[in-house]
Amino acid sequence: MPMHKAPSLSKLAWQLACALVLTTALAAQALACTTTIVGKKASADGSVMVSHSDDGLNDARLVYVPAKDHAPGSMRPVYYSHCSLDFKPQWGGTVSHRIVDGGRAPAYATGPRPGMSGDPRSVPLGFIPQVAHTYAYFDANYGIMNEHQLSIGECTDKAKVDAEPEPGKRIFYSAELSRVALERCKTAREAVKLMGELIEKYGYYGTGETLLVADPNEGWVMEMCAYDKDGTSGVWVAQRVPDDQFFVAANQFRIRDVRKGASDMMFSANIFKVAQEKGWWKPADGPLDWTKVYGDGEYHHPYYSLRRVWRAQSLVAPSRKLSPWAEDAFTRSYPFSIKPDQKLDVKDIFAIHRDNYEGTEFDLTKGLAAGPFGDPGRFEGGAEGLANKEGQLSDVKGEFERPLNIYRCVYAYVNQSRSWLPAAIGGVTWFGPDRPATAVLMPFYAGALDLPRAIQTSDILKLDRGSMWTAFNYVANQAQIKYQYMIKDIRTLRDKHEARFFGTQKAIEETALSLWKKGDQNAARLLLTERSNLFAANVLADWWELSEQLYIRYNDGYFNTPDNIAQPVFYPAWWLKQVGYEQGPTTYAKPVKK
């Protein structure tokens, strides 16, 4: 029998299994992301912080979009967002490149050029009138931060309706909404209102979404979804996060009662009417519960979202002693926002994203599933692994815990917006490529003149030594071989770099501020840009060197040093007992089956 042939599976059953695997893989792109806001009175330095982990294996680039002036009558193209309902080739781009349009940003110029092949150019779903001037910003699968330190985070949510894109009817998803907001707005309130207007005028497609929108003074949670597969609009709601509080969302709507006339809320004009027409709510039910009325619970399995919300809130406010167990997906046990026990800084927030439930009853570094060396990674299921010899799908049921730090994360970041500094200096994106636990946070300032090529280069289908994401993803995959050993080496180098970045932050910013006050703003921007570029170059070189060191140090399962090679690193006794080591061939007698 040829090695590639599926044994004992009918062709139809095998095709079914493969189709289900593909469906699972594509769905995983949408089941992604954890995002947080820290109010200015909840942060250690008075900044407003937004964080986001983009948990789907797709385009990992952090792209610099320059400021531009536009001629009167110009139109802005609105592109399909791969992160909405996965890659659709009719709208251009590729599975690993979200936008192909050099007019949007130089790093997006990956399309055909004279005498060269390239990615298929992005095809607009539609156009909106362009404004005279658009601001510079950092872009990824969603917009991140602009030159005025307007900051955005995101997570995907399960809504009752997911509509397909359609030109002339539904052309906006949260990704392009976030970019338009960063191009045109300076404040969070302004951005929320603009995105709401765009939803109502041009229509919304894709999954439910949470966008966190913040400026140096306040943070807002904006949630949105489609309500009709053939509709020409959408619904949305926004709620302000109190200045002294922390907010977290994890793939489920988090806004509850919609309160008319409340100064800390905004919402679409149709929010009550649509709910009544669809039969999802009536005034006699009491306040409209946005999460319950327009949401559809958690993705995938119970606690897929709630466990992360519980963990994040428990880490910032352990005194609350929140229970990890809830009555159902629509529990109110975890408040909209929570006051932290102690004020939070960037490292505190990224520690949340790096968490694998260590020290709790859900600790993913423990138990048989973690293997002998404590790997917290839990690969999500595929049908081919559950097909029996008759070609039927297995009835094995179960789930692993979904951690904050997940193996398929492509990047994570913490944005700082600081009111007491010029926006160019006050806004910082602390960016970590690939999964948070093995990433290094690197600072990039809102006033940067560009970003390093290594940060703007990535293709998940190529091994590129000039790509920062590739370097980090490569090392993270290596670490799965002997995690509890390799993670120590990774943390040592990670902490060294982060200590230098945080340790020199004050001095660099003081120098930039001095230049700014003297009127040499370009010199200040250049200083910040060059310093970030130098940091990134050092990290890239060190990370590839680390990959080589890990290969040598743990080659063939041993521990190797210049003084002593092939030092045994055997399996722990508890694991040996559970995997049947004691039933191995220890005598010449045939084992007696029990």
Tell me the domain boundaries of the chain. 11-111+122-445
CB 227 within 8 A of CB 234: yes
Distance CA 453, CA 467 (A): 8
What Rg value do the Cα atoms of the chain yield, rounded? 25
Residues 6+ apart with CB under 8 A from 251: 31, 32, 33, 34, 155, 156, 157, 158, 298, 299, 304, 305
- Label each residue of 48-81 as H, E or C: EEEEEEECCCCCCCCEEECCEECCCCCEEEEECC
Per-residue pLDDT of the chain (594 residues; tens, 9 = 90+): 333 343 344 444 444 444 444 444 444 444 579 999 999 999 999 999 999 999 988 999 999 999 999 999 999 999 999 999 989 999 999 999 999 999 999 999 976 555 445 789 999 999 999 999 999 999 999 999 999 999 999 999 999 999 999 999 999 999 999 999 999 999 999 999 999 999 999 999 999 999 999 999 999 999 999 999 999 999 999 999 999 999 999 999 999 999 999 999 999 999 999 999 999 999 999 999 999 999 999 998 999 999 999 999 999 999 999 999 999 999 999 999 999 999 999 999 999 999 999 999 999 999 999 999 999 999 987 654 555 666 666 667 889 999 999 999 999 999 999 999 999 999 999 999 999 999 999 999 999 999 999 999 999 999 999 999 999 999 999 999 999 999 999 999 999 999 999 999 999 999 999 999 999 999 999 999 999 999 999 999 999 999 999 999 999 999 999 999 999 999 999 999 999 999 899 999 987 876
CB-neighbour burial class of residue 261 (10 A; exposed 0-12, middle 13-18, buried 19+): exposed
Helix (H, G, I), strand (E, B) or coil at 148: coil
Q: Three-class SS of residue 152?
A: strand
> In this structure, are strands 411-417 and 257-258 parallel, antiparallel, or unpaired?
unpaired
Distance (Å, rounded) from C-alpha 138 to C-alpha 151?
A: 10
Q: Which of 531, 455, 546 is nearest to 492 (CA)?
A: 546
